[in-house]
Amino acid sequence: MRLRPATAEDARRIFEWANDPSTRAVSFSSEPIPWETHVAWFERRLADDACQLFLACDGEEPVGQVRLDHDGARATISVSIAAEHRGRGLGVAAIREAARVADVEAIDAFILEDNARSVAAFERAGFVFAERTTIQGRAAVRLEFTRRPGSPRPGT
């Protein structure tokens, strides 16, 4: 698994992945995303120094996206894998690679409580349960990856 920085040319691909019905179903906001809204969001993310937006690539083929939103020594991770590439462990690989390259002490993943597949993927990647919470009125969990000083990064 390789992460490459997203570019303006990736806007359409990420838009399509984000609007996949199964992706919308496990998102905190399940409504389809209009193109104009996505473009404005995408441009802000690319310009934001506190955001790393990547395409997860299996070899040279883009299979999903990973976003790290930094806040000091912590980051919040968001991951989605294209529908046609799910079920092959690529989500776990993308999460591990993001944790490896992130220059932070801790990474938080906020996941809908009933999204068992995503929770399991993060746990397989080395994240641990931190707390139950509510986001946008929906039951969620926060999983956390904490890097101890001098500890190896996942996947190394």
* Exposed/middle/buried for residue 50 (C-beta within 10 Å: 0-12, 13-18, 19+): exposed
Give the integer Cα–Cα distance in Å for 54 and 73: 19
Residue 77 has pLDDT above 90, yes or no: yes
pLDDT, tens digit, for every residue of 2-49?
Answer: 999 999 999 999 999 999 999 999 999 999 999 999 999 999 999 999
pLDDT, tens digit, for every residue of 88-112?
Answer: 999 999 999 999 999 999 999 999 9
